[in-house]
A = this chain, B = another copy of it.
Amino acid sequence: MSVKNMIPALEWLPNYKKAWLQGDLSAGLTVGVMLIPQGMAYAMLAGLPPIHGLYAVTVPLILYALLGTSRQLAVGPVAMVSLLTASGISALQPAGPEVYLLFAVTLAFLVGIIQFGMGLFRLGFLVNFLSHPVISGFTSAAAIIIGLSQLKHLLGIKLPNSEHAHEIVISAAQHIGETHWLSLAIGLISIVVIKYARYIHKALPGALLAVVAGILAVWAGGLAEMGVRIVGKVPQGLPGFSLPAFDLGTWQVLIPTALTISLVGFMESFAVAKAIQAKHKNYEVNSNKELVGLGAANIGAAFFQGYPVTGGFSRTAVNDQAGAQTGMASLISSALIVLTLLFLTPLFYNLPNAVLAAVILVAVAGLIDYKEAVKLWRNDRSDFWMLLATFVITLTLGIETGIGAGVVLSLAVVIFRSTRPHVAVLGRVPDSNFYRNVERFKNLELRPDVLVVRFDGPLYFANLNYFKDKMDELSAAKGNALRLIVLNADSISHMDSSAVHALEEWVKDTRKRGIAVSFTSVIGPVRDALNRWGLVDVIGEDHFFMNNQQAVDAFTEKQEANHFQEYVLQAN
């Protein structure tokens, strides 16, 4: 592996073109301005003081810009990972904010190590096991949980931290009478500003506007004395060095969360990185290098008072639209945050929590995707149930259980489906060599003495009994006239040793009943397996054909020449 291979930035940094600068500068500043409110809001969602959301976009951004393969990906705190951080750490019941922060940087460290390791060991493919319905159901449910977690800031009431939707709803219903109306008003106005500012002018940064307006309102109106909760003192200056806990006990408890964040965070990040790369095509994104880049970013977060980060969907889209050409845009965003930390943090003292809650609510509202559910209900009922199961489990039993159950369920369906593959009886399209499913095509030619069957899937240990039962059923339906079974094998993609044994037995049994067996369109790897096991000799070379018609013709020929009996018993 060359150095250039390890540090993708070496592809663009040494040859940096002046022409790129305008786009990178514009994108970097735009995303930086977005990052100020979002970073603080997501840190609050993660249960941390808002400043750590800004710390998390200093060193990590630089590391990703150097090691990541995407040139437009905007790394930093995102809603889902922040929620996972909160739920993972709460489970540990940390004693005070210092311990909470220690657990947060430890989590970032573990996520970094896991992602880095997955990248080195090329385990990026693991993310393939998250199916579309599982992601959709999980994301919608997580968005609802995130939204509910902000209710307390929006209503200005006390609610327990929980990742179980029903618990928050019940508790909120009990405390709804204590609503702090001024906080609610600030929150609602902020939502309107954040959501609709861009209709006034495309480049108007709604969230920043809401932040500024919120601060001014609290400062001018003395709203803090009227019970509006504010961010309070925000430390000034760059993040200090921090050390994660090196304590096996803590690690053990955090590792399930770290694994979930590693996978979910990578998945979100990689999906958007791929989508943007597909537009540009002047570079490649590589799943394993992306893992290394994100892993490095998280390790950076761990040592500079940050918390787990990943590539975010919305900021990446903005980065791209604003013209980002290279990782330089991220470096500029990071520089803007550094300047903010150095000079602007005292200004955030009067920022109302309700404004930050509004930032989060607007961000996650877009993640609730009921349209996909409706589409699946219409087009793929099995995947609809998968989405619903993941959604309900995530909402009621928690985030990690939800995604875990989703993955296990969707793999179980894959396995279950493969135990009962589609089986079609084929008939001949008149005057042709084509054979088609008799249940789907009309006017097909069927001979009473010939059964042509296509088995659509690998033949392996878990579907052998289904194969035999189905064959028995189909032969029985043909009755006593049956003299030839043609097994159209073109969609039998694999045969394991159990299948070879069972097939041998089936062929012998069928021939004992006076019925010939032929195979057509057997694909290469299956032919290899049959050869290795000597089954080609048992069946007889001359019982394998390129297509169904050849098999039927050969049989007819033998029958007409009165050689049928030998043909059946061939090689037995």
Contact = CB atoms under 8 A, between A and B. Distances in A.
A462 B131 contact: yes
B278 A128 contact: no
A131 B461 contact: yes
From DSSP, what is the main secondary structure of chain A's interface residues?
helix
Contacts of A461: 128-132, 410
A465 B125 contact: yes
Contacts of A311: none
A503 to B, nearest CB: 12
A17 interface: no
A526 to B, nearest CB: 9
A497 B465 CA distance: 28
A383 interface: yes
B458 A457 contact: yes
Nearest to A531: B379
A415 B417 contact: no
A232 to B, nearest CB: 46
Contacts of A497: 132-133, 375-376, 379-380, 383
Given A380-B529, A461-B132, A456 B493 contact: yes
B422 A525 contact: yes
B493 A457 contact: yes
Interface string A446-481: 000000001011101111111000000000000000
A569 interface: no
Nearest to A521: B490
**How many copies of this chain?**
2
A411 B422 CA distance: 20
A418 B422 contact: no
Nearest to A129: B462
Interface string A485-500: 0000011111011101
Interface string A121-142: 0000100111111000000000
A4 interface: no
A372 to B, nearest CB: 9
A571 interface: no
A222 interface: no
A491 B489 CA distance: 9
A493 B415 CA distance: 13
A339 to B, nearest CB: 40
B128 A464 contact: yes
Interface in A216-272: none
Q: Which of A133, A461, A466 has the most CB of B within 10 A?
A: A461
A204 interface: no
A523 B493 contact: no
Given A422-B524, A524-B437, A496 B380 contact: yes
A369 B278 CA distance: 54
Contacts of A132: 461, 496-498, 501
A414 interface: yes
Contacts of A129: 461-462
Q: Which of A133, A466, A524, A529 has the most CB of B within 10 A?
A: A524
A378 interface: yes
Nearest to A134: B461
A424 B491 contact: no
Given A380-B496, A491-B523, A498-B133, A414 B529 contact: no
Contacts of A547: 434
Nearest to A418: B414
19 contacts: A128-B419, A128-B463, A129-B461, A132-B461, A133-B497, A379-B500, A379-B533, A380-B496, A380-B529, A383-B497, A414-B458, A417-B458, A434-B547, A439-B524, A456-B493, A456-B525, A490-B491, A491-B491, A493-B493
Interface of A: 125, 128-133, 278, 287, 375-376, 378-380, 382-383, 410-411, 414-415, 417-419, 421-422, 424, 433-434, 437, 439-440, 454, 456-458, 460-466, 490-494, 496-498, 500-501, 509, 521, 523-525, 529, 532-533, 546-547
